[in-house]
Protein backbone atom coordinates (compact mmCIF):
# COMPACT_ATOMS: atom_id res chain seq x y z
CA UNK A 1 0.00 0.00 0.00
CA UNK A 2 1.15 3.44 -0.78
CA UNK A 3 1.51 5.72 2.22
CA UNK A 4 0.97 9.35 1.39
CA UNK A 5 1.13 11.55 4.44
CA UNK A 6 -0.81 14.75 4.37
CA UNK A 7 1.27 17.51 5.97
CA UNK A 8 -0.58 19.27 8.75
CA UNK A 9 -0.44 22.58 6.88
CA UNK A 10 -2.58 21.03 4.19
CA UNK A 11 -5.09 20.05 6.83
CA UNK A 12 -5.69 23.73 7.55
CA UNK A 13 -8.02 23.90 4.59
CA UNK A 14 -10.20 21.32 6.29
CA UNK A 15 -10.69 23.40 9.45
CA UNK A 16 -14.36 24.12 10.07
CA UNK A 17 -15.45 27.71 10.38
CA UNK A 18 -17.70 26.71 13.26
CA UNK A 19 -17.04 24.15 15.93
CA UNK A 20 -18.79 20.86 15.24
CA UNK A 21 -20.92 19.59 18.10
CA UNK A 22 -22.59 21.24 21.08
CA UNK A 23 -20.30 23.85 22.65
CA UNK A 24 -22.97 25.02 25.09
CA UNK A 25 -24.18 23.20 28.16
CA UNK A 26 -27.10 23.70 30.53
CA UNK A 27 -25.07 24.17 33.71
CA UNK A 28 -21.84 25.93 32.79
CA UNK A 29 -19.26 26.75 35.43
CA UNK A 30 -16.99 28.55 33.02
CA UNK A 31 -17.85 29.99 29.66
CA UNK A 32 -15.51 31.17 26.95
CA UNK A 33 -16.76 33.25 24.05
CA UNK A 34 -14.79 34.01 20.89
CA UNK A 35 -11.46 33.70 22.61
CA UNK A 36 -8.36 34.59 20.62
CA UNK A 37 -4.88 34.27 22.06
CA UNK A 38 -1.75 35.73 20.53
CA UNK A 39 1.91 35.20 21.33
CA UNK A 40 3.33 38.36 19.86
CA UNK A 41 2.03 38.30 16.30
CA UNK A 42 1.39 34.59 16.26
CA UNK A 43 -2.19 33.52 16.80
CA UNK A 44 -2.31 30.55 19.14
CA UNK A 45 -6.06 30.32 19.72
CA UNK A 46 -8.56 31.31 17.08
CA UNK A 47 -12.11 32.14 18.06
CA UNK A 48 -12.83 29.45 20.62
CA UNK A 49 -16.25 29.33 22.21
CA UNK A 50 -16.80 26.61 24.76
CA UNK A 51 -18.76 25.97 27.93
CA UNK A 52 -17.27 24.02 30.79
CA UNK A 53 -20.01 22.19 32.60
CA UNK A 54 -20.18 22.12 36.36
CA UNK A 55 -18.91 18.97 38.10
CA UNK A 56 -17.89 17.34 34.89
CA UNK A 57 -14.57 16.44 33.37
CA UNK A 58 -13.81 17.90 29.97
CA UNK A 59 -10.76 16.70 28.06
CA UNK A 60 -8.89 18.89 25.63
CA UNK A 61 -7.11 16.82 23.02
CA UNK A 62 -5.27 17.56 19.82
CA UNK A 63 -1.86 17.38 18.18
CA UNK A 64 1.10 19.25 19.66
CA UNK A 65 0.89 22.99 19.20
CA UNK A 66 -2.85 22.93 18.65
CA UNK A 67 -3.41 25.42 21.46
CA UNK A 68 -5.04 23.15 24.01
CA UNK A 69 -2.51 23.97 26.74
CA UNK A 70 -2.67 27.67 25.89
CA UNK A 71 -6.43 27.54 26.19
CA UNK A 72 -6.17 25.74 29.53
CA UNK A 73 -3.74 28.33 30.85
CA UNK A 74 -6.14 31.11 29.88
CA UNK A 75 -8.73 29.71 32.25
CA UNK A 76 -6.80 30.80 35.35
CA UNK A 77 -4.68 33.46 33.67
CA UNK A 78 -1.46 31.51 34.00
CA UNK A 79 -0.61 33.06 30.64
CA UNK A 80 -0.17 36.36 32.45
CA UNK A 81 3.38 35.36 33.27
CA UNK A 82 4.23 35.29 29.57
CA UNK A 83 4.78 38.85 28.53
CA UNK A 84 4.05 38.52 24.83
CA UNK A 85 0.76 36.73 25.45
CA UNK A 86 -2.45 38.62 24.67
CA UNK A 87 -5.98 37.31 25.21
CA UNK A 88 -9.08 38.59 23.43
CA UNK A 89 -12.69 37.61 23.88
CA UNK A 90 -14.53 36.74 27.02
CA UNK A 91 -13.80 34.09 29.63
CA UNK A 92 -16.23 33.93 32.51
CA UNK A 93 -16.12 32.04 35.75
CA UNK A 94 -19.75 31.90 36.79
CA UNK A 95 -20.76 35.42 35.81
CA UNK A 96 -17.45 37.12 36.31
CA UNK A 97 -15.20 38.01 33.41
CA UNK A 98 -11.81 36.78 34.59
CA UNK A 99 -9.95 39.08 32.21
CA UNK A 100 -11.68 42.10 33.67
CA UNK A 101 -8.87 44.54 34.60
CA UNK A 102 -10.37 44.92 38.09
CA UNK A 103 -10.11 41.22 38.79
CA UNK A 104 -7.36 40.19 41.16
CA UNK A 105 -5.62 37.15 39.78
CA UNK A 106 -4.78 35.77 43.24
CA UNK A 107 -8.34 34.90 44.32
CA UNK A 108 -9.04 33.75 40.76
CA UNK A 109 -6.28 31.17 41.01
CA UNK A 110 -7.57 30.13 44.38
CA UNK A 111 -10.90 29.38 42.69
CA UNK A 112 -9.37 27.83 39.59
CA UNK A 113 -6.53 25.56 40.72
CA UNK A 114 -3.96 23.95 38.52
CA UNK A 115 -1.98 20.71 38.31
CA UNK A 116 0.98 20.63 35.98
CA UNK A 117 2.56 18.22 33.55
CA UNK A 118 5.64 17.53 35.63
CA UNK A 119 4.95 16.84 39.30
CA UNK A 120 6.28 19.99 40.94
CA UNK A 121 6.01 19.76 44.70
CA UNK A 122 7.79 22.51 46.58
CA UNK A 123 11.07 21.32 48.06
CA UNK A 124 9.44 21.51 51.46
CA UNK A 125 7.77 18.97 53.70
CA UNK A 126 4.65 17.13 52.54
CA UNK A 127 2.67 18.99 55.17
CA UNK A 128 3.95 22.40 54.08
CA UNK A 129 3.23 21.59 50.46
CA UNK A 130 -0.44 21.06 51.18
CA UNK A 131 -0.65 23.77 53.84
CA UNK A 132 0.94 26.42 51.60
CA UNK A 133 -2.21 27.45 49.75
CA UNK A 134 -4.45 27.61 52.84
CA UNK A 135 -1.70 29.56 54.64
CA UNK A 136 -1.24 32.29 52.05
CA UNK A 137 -4.98 32.67 51.60
CA UNK A 138 -5.59 32.63 55.34
CA UNK A 139 -8.07 29.75 55.11
CA UNK A 140 -7.27 28.24 58.47
CA UNK A 141 -7.83 30.14 61.69
CA UNK A 142 -5.48 28.08 63.80
CA UNK A 143 -3.13 25.14 63.69
CA UNK A 144 -5.77 22.44 64.30
CA UNK A 145 -7.86 23.72 61.45
CA UNK A 146 -4.86 23.73 59.14
CA UNK A 147 -4.01 20.18 60.24
CA UNK A 148 -7.48 19.02 59.35
CA UNK A 149 -7.38 20.78 55.97
CA UNK A 150 -4.09 19.06 55.20
CA UNK A 151 -5.41 15.68 56.24
CA UNK A 152 -8.67 16.05 54.34
CA UNK A 153 -6.87 17.19 51.18
CA UNK A 154 -4.41 14.31 51.33
CA UNK A 155 -7.28 11.91 51.91
CA UNK A 156 -9.20 13.24 48.95
CA UNK A 157 -6.07 12.90 46.84
CA UNK A 158 -5.76 9.29 47.99
CA UNK A 159 -2.36 9.92 49.51
CA UNK A 160 -3.10 10.05 53.23
CA UNK A 161 -2.50 6.37 53.86
CA UNK A 162 0.91 6.50 52.26
CA UNK A 163 2.22 9.66 53.91
CA UNK A 164 0.30 10.00 57.19
CA UNK A 165 3.33 9.03 59.28
CA UNK A 166 5.90 11.04 57.36
CA UNK A 167 4.31 14.42 56.81
CA UNK A 168 7.54 16.15 57.72
CA UNK A 169 9.49 14.48 54.94
CA UNK A 170 10.29 16.40 51.81
CA UNK A 171 7.65 16.31 49.10
CA UNK A 172 10.38 15.60 46.59
CA UNK A 173 11.24 12.33 48.32
CA UNK A 174 7.98 10.78 47.09
CA UNK A 175 7.65 8.74 43.91
CA UNK A 176 6.49 10.47 40.73
CA UNK A 177 2.91 9.31 41.06
CA UNK A 178 2.79 10.24 44.73
CA UNK A 179 4.27 13.64 43.93
CA UNK A 180 1.54 14.26 41.39
CA UNK A 181 -1.14 13.25 43.88
CA UNK A 182 0.54 15.58 46.37
CA UNK A 183 0.23 18.35 43.80
CA UNK A 184 -3.45 17.51 43.41
CA UNK A 185 -3.84 17.60 47.19
CA UNK A 186 -2.10 20.96 47.21
CA UNK A 187 -4.50 22.23 44.55
CA UNK A 188 -7.65 21.03 46.30
CA UNK A 189 -6.48 22.26 49.72
CA UNK A 190 -7.64 25.78 48.82
CA UNK A 191 -11.09 24.40 47.88
CA UNK A 192 -11.12 25.52 44.27
CA UNK A 193 -14.21 25.28 42.12
CA UNK A 194 -12.38 24.34 38.95
CA UNK A 195 -9.20 22.28 38.64
CA UNK A 196 -7.11 22.59 35.50
CA UNK A 197 -4.79 19.70 34.71
CA UNK A 198 -2.09 20.04 32.09
CA UNK A 199 -1.14 16.52 30.99
CA UNK A 200 -1.00 15.37 34.59
CA UNK A 201 0.11 11.82 33.80
CA UNK A 202 2.59 12.36 31.00
CA UNK A 203 5.56 11.81 33.32
CA UNK A 204 4.10 8.80 35.13
CA UNK A 205 4.13 5.05 34.67
CA UNK A 206 0.88 3.22 33.82
CA UNK A 207 0.10 2.18 37.39
CA UNK A 208 0.59 5.69 38.75
CA UNK A 209 -1.40 6.98 35.78
CA UNK A 210 -4.27 4.62 36.57
CA UNK A 211 -4.35 5.88 40.16
CA UNK A 212 -4.45 9.52 39.04
CA UNK A 213 -7.20 8.70 36.56
CA UNK A 214 -9.18 6.97 39.27
CA UNK A 215 -8.67 10.04 41.42
CA UNK A 216 -9.91 12.36 38.67
CA UNK A 217 -12.92 10.13 38.29
CA UNK A 218 -13.69 10.51 42.00
CA UNK A 219 -12.94 14.24 42.11
CA UNK A 220 -15.47 15.06 39.44
CA UNK A 221 -18.22 14.62 42.01
CA UNK A 222 -16.98 17.74 43.76
CA UNK A 223 -14.98 19.70 41.23
CA UNK A 224 -15.21 20.91 37.69
CA UNK A 225 -12.16 19.54 35.93
CA UNK A 226 -10.52 20.54 32.68
CA UNK A 227 -7.76 18.19 31.59
CA UNK A 228 -5.34 18.47 28.70
CA UNK A 229 -4.04 15.11 27.65
CA UNK A 230 -2.07 13.50 24.86
CA UNK A 231 -3.44 10.11 25.71
CA UNK A 232 -6.72 9.55 23.96
CA UNK A 233 -7.36 6.51 26.11
CA UNK A 234 -7.03 8.75 29.13
CA UNK A 235 -9.47 11.28 27.73
CA UNK A 236 -11.82 8.42 26.95
CA UNK A 237 -11.51 6.98 30.44
CA UNK A 238 -11.89 10.05 32.62
CA UNK A 239 -13.94 12.67 30.82
CA UNK A 240 -17.59 13.37 30.22
CA UNK A 241 -16.93 15.65 27.30
CA UNK A 242 -14.04 15.87 24.89
CA UNK A 243 -12.93 18.85 22.85
CA UNK A 244 -10.65 18.46 19.87
CA UNK A 245 -8.30 21.36 19.05
CA UNK A 246 -6.45 21.73 15.80
CA UNK A 247 -4.19 24.62 14.72
CA UNK A 248 -5.68 26.87 17.37
CA UNK A 249 -9.28 26.12 16.48
CA UNK A 250 -11.77 24.12 18.46
CA UNK A 251 -12.75 21.67 15.75
CA UNK A 252 -15.21 19.48 17.54
CA UNK A 253 -16.65 19.01 20.97
CA UNK A 254 -19.04 16.38 22.22
CA UNK A 255 -19.73 13.59 24.63
CA UNK A 256 -16.61 11.53 25.09
CA UNK A 257 -18.19 8.28 23.94
CA UNK A 258 -19.54 10.01 20.86
CA UNK A 259 -16.17 11.58 20.01
CA UNK A 260 -14.33 8.31 20.36
CA UNK A 261 -16.76 6.10 18.53
CA UNK A 262 -18.26 8.37 15.97
CA UNK A 263 -16.55 11.73 15.51
CA UNK A 264 -18.25 13.96 13.02
CA UNK A 265 -15.45 16.08 11.68
CA UNK A 266 -12.90 14.58 9.36
CA UNK A 267 -9.95 16.07 11.31
CA UNK A 268 -11.21 14.68 14.60
CA UNK A 269 -11.60 11.29 13.02
CA UNK A 270 -8.14 11.44 11.47
CA UNK A 271 -6.58 12.39 14.81
CA UNK A 272 -8.48 9.86 16.87
CA UNK A 273 -7.82 7.00 14.50
CA UNK A 274 -4.14 7.87 14.31
CA UNK A 275 -3.97 9.16 10.78
CA UNK A 276 -1.72 12.10 11.71
CA UNK A 277 -0.35 13.85 14.70
Partner 1 sequence: MESSPHTSSAFDQDLYEMSEKVRSLANLVERQLKAVTQSLSTLEDKGLDKLIRRDKKVDKLESEIIEQGVQVIALRAPLAEDLRRVLVIQKIATILERMGDYARNTANRTKVILAEGPEAVPVTNLQQMAELTCEMLVDVMAAFDNVDAEMAIKVRNGDVKVDKLHTKLHRDVVKSAQNNPDQIVANVHLLFIAKNFERIGDYATGIAEQVYFLANGTFVDEFRPKADKTSWNA
Partner 2 sequence: MSEPQKGIITPHVAISRVNASLAARRARERRFRIYGRIAIGLALAFLVTLFVSIFTKGIPGFFQYYVTLEVVIDQEKIDPDGDLSVQSLYDGDARGIIRSALYKVTGAEGRSGRKAAGKLISKGAEQRLRKAIIKNPALVGQTVAMKFALDDDADSFLRGYISSAVPEKDRRISDKQIEFINKLQKLNLISYDFSDYLIFGSASRDPEIAGIKGAFIGSMLTLAVCLVLAFPMGVATAIYLEEFAPKNRITELIEVNINNLAAVPSVVFGILGLAVFISIFGMPRSIPLIGGVVLALMTLPTIIISSRAAIRAVPPSIRDAAFGVGASKLQTVMHHVLPLAMPGMLTGTIIGMAQALGETAPLLMIGMVAFIVDIPGSVTDPGTVLPVQIFMWADFAERMFIHKTSAAIIVLLVFLISMNAIAIFIRSRLERRW
Q: What are phi and psi of 74, to 5 degrees?
A: -70, -25
Q: Which is nearer to partner 1, 177 or 263 (CB)?
A: 263
- The single-letter DSSP state of residue 125 is B
Residue 4 binds to partner 1 (criterion: CB under 8 A): yes
Site for partner 2 in 48-87 (CB under 8 A): 76, 78, 81, 83
Residue 39 binds to partner 1 (criterion: CB under 8 A): no
| Cα dihedral 249, 253, 258, 259 sign | positive
Classify each residue of 68-101 as buried b or exposed e, where b means 16 or more C-beta atoms within 10 Å of its C-beta: bbbbbbbbbbbbeeeeebebebebbbeeeebbee
Q: Which is nearer to partner 1, 35 or 232 (CB)?
A: 232
Residue 257 binds to partner 1 (criterion: CB under 8 A): no
With CB under 8 A as the contact rule, the residue among 63, 133, 200, 254 that binds partner 2 is 133
Report the half-sphere exposure of 59 (CA within 13 A, side-chain side). 28
- Bridge partners, residue 39, by sequence: 42, 85
Contact assessment for residue 115 and residue 197, using Cβ atoms and an 8 Å cutoff: yes
Q: Least CB distance from residue 258 to partner 1, whole Å? A: 9
Q: Which is nearer to partner 2, 187 or 208 (CB)?
A: 187
Stretch that binds partner 1, among 144-152, 192-200, 221-229, 257-265 (CB under 8 A): 257-265
| Cα dihedral 107, 110, 116, 118 sign | positive
Residue 169 binds to partner 2 (criterion: CB under 8 A): no
**Using CB under 8 A as the criterion, which residues of the chain lie in contact with partner 1 when the complex forms?**
1-6, 232-233, 236, 260-263, 266, 269-270, 272-277
Q: Could you list the residues that contact partner 2 (CB under 8 A)?
A: 76, 78, 81, 83, 106-110, 113-116, 118, 120-123, 132-133, 136-137, 172, 183, 186-187, 189-190
Amino acid sequence: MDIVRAPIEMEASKLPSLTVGEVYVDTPRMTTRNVNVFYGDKMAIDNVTLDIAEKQVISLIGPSGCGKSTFLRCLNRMNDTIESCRVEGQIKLDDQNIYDPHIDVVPLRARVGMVFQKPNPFPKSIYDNVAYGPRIHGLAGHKDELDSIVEASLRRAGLWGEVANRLDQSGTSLSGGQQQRLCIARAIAVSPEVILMDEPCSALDPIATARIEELIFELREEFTIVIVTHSMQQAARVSNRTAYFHLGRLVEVGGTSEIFTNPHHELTNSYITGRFG
